[in-house]
Amino acid sequence: MVPPILEYLGALTLKAMPDAELELIDANVHEPQPENIQADLVGISSITATITWSYNFSDELRKLGKKVVLGGIHPTALPEEAKQHADAVVVGEAESVWHEILKDALRGSLKTFYYGERLPLDDMPVPLTCFTNGDYKFRAVFTARGCPYRCSFCSVRKFFGDTLRYRPIERVVEEVEKCTERIYFNGDDNIWGGDLNRSIELFTSLSQITKKWWYGFGDLRAPQSPLGDKLLESARKSGLFSVWAGWETSSGKGLKMYHAAAKQGENREEAVKKIKKYGIDVTLFVVLGGRSDTASDFDNVIGLAKRLGVVIHPVLLTPLPGTELYEEYKPYILKDKGWECYTGANAVFEHPTMSPEEIEERFYRTSLELLSTKRILMHLFEIPLRGFPTTHVLSLMKQIPMKRAMEKAYEKWKKDRRKIDSKVKSLNNEILAP
């Protein structure tokens, strides 16, 4: 997926300074070398999992005399940490302060911190779709920011606020029509949360343009509302082929513990069945490895996938900075795990009954069982015929690359474990040697 932050920040840059020379670099695709960067100002946006690389890269740039601005969710959560590696730090959203940063940089008077306001989304620039290079399959479009739910492990509310802000529908439709290919991703944290009438109006407007297919994240509460059928019908007609929903945990105690029950509605299993009835594929996120979880929780998700006829994407509970969970889990966080381990695939805190290695091993084995060839093919028969053939084909297009990526990640994990075990064995032999 094309990183939307690059294209939007690029557009903001040229809006504030039309004569600026601009280059957008996705370091996930082509890792740049500091000595090859020719720029007066370098802006780096980062999440927690990429911040270690960002800090190292920023430090190297500054040694070469380059001015660096850091922004994104992690610098917003830990601005004092981020300022050790940058000339300026953007705390929050960039739209309200980016023009000021550019002017200050031009004058040579950058401030340490710039605090972004949560502005209305009426005047967002069209992203610079012609500037990024890479083997990308599709783009992301966002239509709203904010989340009213209070899940303790999620940083969305802390970053974007708990009041939903919407982009004008006509601007969203224009961007989808002009900037996306046949398949695109809705980057909203909840594609139909908040104002359901607005969601129906958006989907209806999208259905009137050239047919495109899309997927995104959605809660299980909205489909259970009195407008649920109208919502799903309009979403399907607009091209929605798959929705990713947070199941979080099958434990009522766990939902309460994570403050995640509100977005589930009264009967979330019925919500899943209802979504599927409209030919929309369902993928559920399940959080595993919490301090109250047991080994059996990993096994239970296999049965859940078969019972509901859905794809399940397990993630390991990760206490991200800026969340309530981070404060709660601080006493248990493993000090030898850097920010680069905060990916949802690493155990980063002490568990009362399982070692980090056991948790990670179970995560990979569970993920690969859910992505087995047999399971992927069986799932095609679980998707209602109403979605045939598009939803079935796109389901394969999603799951097969995920399967390959997970297999590759597991092989790397096993290789790294063998290296660690070998070093430990070598050290023990040295200690035991006479």
pLDDT tens sequence across 22-55: 999 988 888 899 999 999 999 999 999 999 999 9
- Full DSSP string of 83-150: GGG-SEEEES-STTTHHHHHHHHHHT---SEEE-----STTPPPP-TTS--S-----EE--EE-----
pLDDT at 433 over 70: no
Asked if pLDDT for residue 149 goes beyond 90, the answer is yes
Predicted pLDDT of residue 427: 66
Q: What is the per-residue pLDDT across 254-292, written as a single tens digit (0 to 9) for each?
A: 999 999 999 999 999 999 999 999 999 999 999 999 999
* 16-20, 56-60, 136-140, 292-296: the lowest-pLDDT one: 136-140
What integer pLDDT is reported at residue 133 of this predicted model? 63
What are φ and ψ of residue 151, in 5° steps?
-60, 130
pLDDT in tens, 74-109: 999 999 999 999 999 999 999 999 999 999 999 999
pLDDT > 90: percent of the chain: 86
Please choose, from the candidates 2, 6, 86, 96, the residue with its C-alpha nearest in 3D space to the C-alpha of residue 45: 6
Task: Provide the pLDDT for residue 135.
Answer: 73
pLDDT by residue (tens digit) across 313-324? 999 999 999 999
More confident position, 367 or 129: 367
Most confident of 58-62, 134-138, 398-402: 58-62
The pLDDT value recorded for residue 412 is 96
β-pairing, 140-141 vs 311-316, is unpaired
Cis, bond preceding 79 (omega within 30 deg of 0) = no
Element (H, E) at 358: helix 356-370
Report which of residues 194 and 52 the model is more confident about: 52
Give the torsion sign (CA, 322, 326, 330, 335): negative
pLDDT above 70: residue 416: yes
Could you tell me the domains of the chain? Answer: 4-115 (3.40.50.280), 140-413 (3.80.30.20)
pLDDT band at 131 (very low <50, low <70, confident <90, very high): low
Report CA Rg, the chain.
23
For residue 425, pLDDT over 90 is answered with: no
Q: What angle do CA 335, 336, 342 make, to 5 degrees?
A: 85
pLDDT at position 251 is 83
The per-residue pLDDT for 34 is 96
- Is the pTM above the cut of 0.85? yes
pLDDT in tens, 358-376: 999 999 999 999 999 999 9
Q: Which helix (H) or strand (E) is 222 found in, with range?
A: none
Chain mean pLDDT for the chain: 94
